[in-house]
Structure 1
Amino acid sequence: MVGLSLGEKNFIKGGIAQDIRTDGRKRLTYRPIFVETGVIPQASGSARVKMGATDVIASVKGRGGEELSVELSTALQRCLLGGKSGAGAGIDLSSLSIVEGKVCWDIYIDGLVVSSDGNLLDALGAAVKAALSNTAIPKVEVTANASSEEQPEVDVSDEEFLQFDTTGVPVIITLTKVGSHYIVDATPEEESQMSSAVSISVNSQGRICGLTKRGGAGLDPSIILDMISVAKHVSDQLFNKLDSEIAAAEACDDE
């Protein structure tokens, strides 16, 4: 919990109301974002993302299995995988299928918080997207008996890999409500003054993939709809910056 004086609290709230935050940003502006990929050689894919002083790492491991499984925190799971049925999922789990209903890839995603300076969920979501773009899945050959009732035999290549398709992987936009205004990429001091926060995952086509809320104050449905509209608008800014950083990071990896 951040300890602030009454004057500091009023300064934060007043600045947000005037669209001038304590660090000089506007309400819907992010701190600088930096991405580094391939930071964990033992993983199938990995990335490190820094948003201001918030520093997180995501790693992806893949192995063959009989069930689809993605290990994420509850909030990340809601934002990236949609509902329990998988409807609206930002990550296309069907792309992990090797033989439908029999064999698939299990993808395990681990997140590590190196340094926390607010807006952790958005940073972790960005790191997951960057790590998945860095993920290579071994090419698999299935033997002829795969269509029979027997468990199919598969040959996993050690030399040929397929790039994980991240086209539909969304970004997470957390809108933090302070007073009557929303802000993005909140600092811990700003988060301490919030009444509620809504995290919305949006893909590059502007489709909502998931939503989760925290904070005790209830929100009118009209406010939720307005927040979704704002998140769609802000997502363009985040996608452009994140895609640019990922491309630059992967270019460095190839050198």
Structure 2
Amino acid sequence: MWLDVKIMNATVFSKAEFPRLLAQTKQKQLQWLRHVHRMEDGHIPKDSCMDDLRIDGRGCEDYRHIEIETDVVSNTSGSARVKILLECGGNLSDAISIAVKAALHNTRIPKVRVLEDDEGSKEIELSDDPYDCIRLNVENVPCVITLSKIGYRHVVDATSQEEACCMASLLVSVTRKGTITCFRKVGGGSLDPASIFEMLETGNRVGKALHESLQTTLEKEESLGRKRQKVGFLG
């Protein structure tokens, strides 16, 4: 016999002691920060914090290597693939926004002409030239920058280890001109207003740099024209 019993999320969290798990995670984060603070100069974790560097050698505002390919889906117009190392951490929202903008930049809408003969009948004519098309203007399409708050710092493109120490993250949507279209806080921790303003400024700065780098890559690939090698989606 099936009983339609509804259990609130708060009840599930309470029985699973979820608030206690969050408190323990936060306590471990604070313990690690205090441990780093007590370290002598010369230790890698402390030097990385002081020199604005991370364990993998990147700065707090640096992304890892990202590969972008367009025309990855056969017989379509407007497709892109972004290669990142998500198994080593990383932000899915950032990758999706990059892929969407690259695909829209790659989209070509065929020009359609309506011809009318002497008898007044009309027919649709489609050009045989695949490059006789209309391009979309992606100038104002934003990219998402995810900033992860770790202690008193915030970083972009966090690794899995950094995500484990992250108290909360801020997703910032930025256009190429630096206009912030929206932002959203995610995670169980809290962010004070001063931190939010700092993270928005960082997101604005990183977002503009990301747009410029993405535009340069897309223009370089497009300059190859018909010589560009096309690969299948599974290739």
Whether TM exceeds 0.5 here: the answer is: yes
The SS at the match of 1:45 is: coil
8 Å CA contact retained: 1:34, 1:245: no
The SS at the match of 2:100 is: helix
Partner of 2:198: 226
Deviation at 1:20?
2.0
TM-align CA RMSD = 3.1
8 Å CA contact retained: 1:16, 1:181: no
The SS at the match of 2:56 is: coil
Q: Which has the higher strand share?
A: 1
Deviation at 1:141?
5.3
Is residue 130 from structure 1 mapped to residue 90 from structure 2 by the alignment? no
Which of 27, 35, 38 is the aligned partner of 2:68? 35
Is residue 200 from structure 1 mapped to residue 172 from structure 2 by the alignment? yes
Separation of aligned partners in 1, 2:198 and 2:82: 28
Deviation at 1:224?
1.7
8 Å CA contact retained: 1:35, 1:249: no
Separation of aligned partners in 2, 1:196 and 1:129: 26
Partner of 1:164: 136
Number of aligned residues: 182
Deviation at 1:15?
6.4
Task: Give unmatched runs, 5+ long, in structure 1.
Answer: 55-114, 144-152
Q: 1:26 to 1:156 in 2, by over 3 A?
A: farther
Task: Give unmatched runs, 5+ long, in structure 2.
Answer: 1-27, 37-43, 116-121, 228-235
Separation of aligned partners in 1, 2:184 and 2:70: 27
Partner of 1:47: 80
- How does the TM-score come out when normalised to structure 2? 0.66
Is residue 182 from structure 1 mapped to residue 154 from structure 2 by the alignment? yes
8 Å CA contact retained: 1:168, 1:204: yes
The SS at the match of 1:227 is: helix
8 Å CA contact retained: 1:37, 1:131: yes
Which of 9, 12, 17 is the aligned partner of 2:49? 17
Partner of 2:59: 26
Separation of aligned partners in 2, 1:234 and 1:44: 29
Separation of aligned partners in 2, 1:210 and 1:254: 38
Structure 1 residue runs of 4 or more that deviate by more than 6 Å after TM superposition: 5-13
Separation of aligned partners in 2, 1:229 and 1:239: 16
Q: 1:29 to 1:157 in 2, by over 3 A?
A: same
Deviation at 1:33?
2.2
8 Å CA contact retained: 2:89, 2:163: no
- How does the TM-score come out when normalised to structure 1? 0.61
Separation of aligned partners in 2, 1:154 and 1:203: 41
Separation of aligned partners in 1, 2:100 and 2:142: 10
8 Å CA contact retained: 1:16, 1:27: no
Partner of 2:213: 241
Percent sequence identity over matched residues? 36
8 Å CA contact retained: 1:175, 1:227: yes
The SS at the match of 1:219 is: coil
Separation of aligned partners in 1, 2:153 and 2:79: 35
Deviation at 1:172?
1.3
Separation of aligned partners in 2, 1:239 and 1:131: 14
Q: Which has the higher helix share?
A: 2
Deviation readout 1:157-181 (Å, 9 max, x if unpaired): 4644211111111121111101111
Separation of aligned partners in 2, 1:14 and 1:193: 15
The SS at the match of 2:111 is: strand
Separation of aligned partners in 1, 2:32 and 2:90: 17
